[in-house]
Amino acid sequence: MHYFTPEGRAVLDGLAGLWCSNAGHNRDSIVAAISRQAAELDYAPAFHFAHPKAFALAGRVAALSPGDLNRVFFCNSGSEAVDTALKIALAYHHVRGEGGRTRLIGRERGYHGVGFGGISVGGIVNNRKFFGTLLAGVDHLPATYSREHQAFTKGEPEWGGHLADELERIVALHGASTIAAVIVEPMAGSTGVLPPPKGYLQRLRAICDRHGILLIFDEVITGFGRLGHAFAAERYGVTPDLLCFAKGINSGAVPMGGVLVDERLYDAFMQGPEHVIELFHGYTYSAHPLACAAALAALDLYRDEDLFARAKRLEPLFADAAMTLKGLPGVLDIRTVGLSAGIDLAPRPNAAGERGYEAMDRAFYDEDLVIRVTGDTLAVAPPLIVSEAQIDEIFDKVARVIRAVA
């Protein structure tokens, strides 16, 4: 649960690394698995060849996922997972003779990493405006957050489910036959922990089904226990056609990402003779043996320590602790879901982001705590092994920081 600085300070990790170290840091079994693997097989190509742990891991991840999400395409980061999912969606329509479906629909305030695909469907202006025209033919759903209707909600807000119907408006504008896929984070993490309004994801699923549009969940943050389940898809009872993961797959120990793909999409590609490449896409380090070994060890830890259920059990206590910050100077809103919280601070006049940055800085230097900041929004998302006492400790520290930057 701690980092140790060169001077020997113990710094409490309130962010699971960067939303990834779900089993905590330097876990013995993960360390040993990586070290064993490096001695046994340091690398094997994933083009034409493979190694047993890649298949073992794909099977384990598929077993954790709902529905027919039974095939896995491995890569090395969340950004690559997103680009991979978008490309599979486009290619799937192409191989079925619906190559006119080229549009991709993202969402305002969405974060899907920093590849050209991800920033195109993402909805963060500073991640987009410096980088040219991005992908053509992309449209965006509105963000689901409204402070007016949702402030200080624990879990999924009552208001906002109807915003999924904006997809019908987009379909009416462009025509369903031009739209390949919709991509959303079930819970938008990077722009400040925005849980989905009640019914929202179910409505998106229904509209996609009605129009033959693929639904992609970006579960790079929500995967592997953050919301008290293996995947948020399970929490919400909504199964996407493709699901991006990364981060928690091996508790952040070795770079790795991947896309879970529905069996029927996989089958659409696997029609040709053995020697023909089905999907012209892949990375040198796809299913890297060290990443696979670390992931198998992490999944064992999640199972043996029942960490997803632990996150679920701690959720009410965590939400209560986060809400103790309500009423502190400058706190405009607090949102919680699973073991994650977003805290909006009032921006200082003419200095947007300054108060938030100072809060992160003071948390680290004065309180020995790592938290995340985006603009003036603080994010807290500790490893799933966090103790009840440490949850209180985290929010006590955050409270002192908020007072200090008032």
Ligand X SMILES: Cc1ncc(COP(=O)(O)O)c(C=O)c1O
- Site residues, ligand X (CB under 6 A): 19, 77-79, 82, 111-113, 185, 189-190, 218, 220-221, 246
Task: Answer yes or no: are the C-beta atoms of 23 and 302 closer than 8 Å.
Answer: yes
Shortest spacing between CB 338 and ligand X, in angstroms: 14
Is 194 or 334 the residue whose CB approaches ligand X more closely?
194
Nearer to ligand X, 126 or 350 (CB): 126
Residue 29 CB, shortest distance to ligand X, in Å, is: 23
| 232 burial type by CB count under 10 A (0-12 exposed, 13-18 middle, 19+ buried) | buried
Q: Least distance in Å: CB of 316 to ligand X?
A: 24
Amino acid at 28: D
Q: Compare residues 22 and 77 and give the one whose CB is closer to ligand X.
A: 77
Q: How many CA atoms are closer than 13 Å to the CA of 135, on its beta-carbon side?
A: 22
Residue 238 Cβ vs ligand X, minimum distance, rounded to whole Å: 16
3-state percent helix, strand, coil for the chain, nearest multiple of 5: 40, 15, 40
Provide, rounded to whole angstroms, the least separation between the CB of residue 109 and ligand X: 11
Query: What residues form DSSP beta bridges with 369?
Result: 12
Q: What's the residue count for the chain?
A: 406
Of 189 and 195, CB closest to ligand X: 189
Give whole-number Cα distances, 83 to 104, 116, 133, 199, in Å.
Answer: 11, 8, 17, 27
* Residue of 58, 89, 59, 90 lying closest to 75 (CA atoms): 58
Identify the CA nearest to 60 among candidates 258, 312, 254, 265.
Answer: 258
Residue 346: CB minimum distance to ligand X, A? 25
Tell me whether residue 323 is exposed, middle or buried, using C-beta atoms within 10 angstroms of its C-beta: 0 to 12, 13 to 18, 19 or more: middle
Closest to ligand X by CB, 79 or 153: 79
Please state the closest distance from residue 188 (CB atom) to ligand X, in A. 8
| Residue whose CB is less far from ligand X, 135 or 268 | 135
The DSSP element (H or E) to which 345 belongs, if any, is: strand 340-345
Q: Which is nearer to ligand X, 192 or 356 (CB)?
A: 192
Over its C-alpha atoms, the chain yields an Rg (Å, rounded) of 21
Task: Tell me how far apart the alpha carbons of residues 292 and 18 are, in angstroms, rounded to a whole number.
Answer: 20
Q: Which two tokens stand for residue 244?
A: 């991006």
Compare residues 257 and 321 and give the one whose CB is closer to ligand X.
Answer: 257
Closer of 259 and 331 to ligand X (Cβ) = 259
The encoded tokens of residue 35 equal 């070290």
Could you tell me the smallest distance in angstroms from the CB atom of residue 219 to ligand X? 7
Please list, in sequence order, all residues whose beta carbon lies within 8 angstroms of the beta carbon of residue 301, skipping any fewer than 6 positions away: 23, 27, 29, 30, 251, 307
SS (H, E, C) 37-95: HHHHCCCCCCCCCCCHHHHHHHHHHHHHCCCCEEEEEEECCHHHHHHHHHHHHHHHHHH
In terms of DSSP H, where are the helices of 240-353? 263-269, 289-304, 307-323
Residue nearest to ligand X (CB): 78
For ligand X, the closer of residues 178 and 374 by Cβ is 374
Query: Please, which residue, 185 or 358, has the CB nearer to ligand X?
Result: 185
